[in-house]
Structure formats: structure tokens, C-alpha cells
Structure 1
Amino acid sequence: MVVLDESALIRPIGGRAVMGQQLDHLLEISQLPKCQDLCSPDVDRVPPGAYGGIPGDHGA
């Protein structure tokens, strides 16, 4: 299982070539039969309510 934070996919550490190699590797291992890949969204970029509720809203 691979769990990545969204920022790891959009922050080009090491330059475009290194990022390309890393993404190619992730794509390659995602094709393995027992591999499951998940991406944890960057909560600072997710609109309020995207997960079912608005922060501070307690169903009033």
C-alpha cells in the first residue's frame, strides 16, 4: 500500500527530471497485483464542506 500526501505529487523536489522519474516509478508499482495507492488530499486546498460538513457547523 502506498499513501501519499497530495503535496508530494505537486511539489517538484529535485527538479522536473527527478519528479518525472518518481512519478514513473509510482505508476509502475501501482500496476502490481497487490498494490493499492491512496492520495491524502491537502486539506488547505479542499473547499469547506467537501468531507460532509462545514468546520464549526454542529448541525444547528
Structure 2
Amino acid sequence: MRSDQAGVGLGLTIVGSIVQAHDGTLTIGGRPAGGLRVSALLSAGEVSGRLGDVVPSEAL
């Protein structure tokens, strides 16, 4: 989307709902040069089942 186009304003609402549902943290702040910085932090949590085999990043 170009900066001169208007959005519908749902983006951060949707992201906030997803982050909250996963017990994460959403940080929003301004930037000195203008614009907005948005950071979402989600926990990896625990994984179980066949796909739950965790490979350390060093092994990749």
C-alpha cells in the first residue's frame, strides 16, 4: 500500500489480538525521523507431538 492511500485501520487491532491470544507483548512507538515502530514478541512455548522435535540453531 502506498503512503498516500488510506487503510481501514484494522491492522494493529488484528495483530494485537493475535499477540494477546499467545500471551505476547506488543510495543508501539514513534521514530525520531517520523513513522511508527511496532514490535511483537511471542514466546516459543512448549511443543509436543511428532513435530515437537526441537533442533538447536547451532545444528542448522
How high is the TM-score relative to the length of structure 1? 0.31
Larger radius of gyration: 2
Question: Greater RCO between the two (CA within 8 Å, min separation 6)?
Answer: 1
How high is the TM-score relative to the length of structure 2? 0.31
- Answer 1 or 2: which has greater strand percent: 2
- Answer 1 or 2: which has greater helix percent: 1
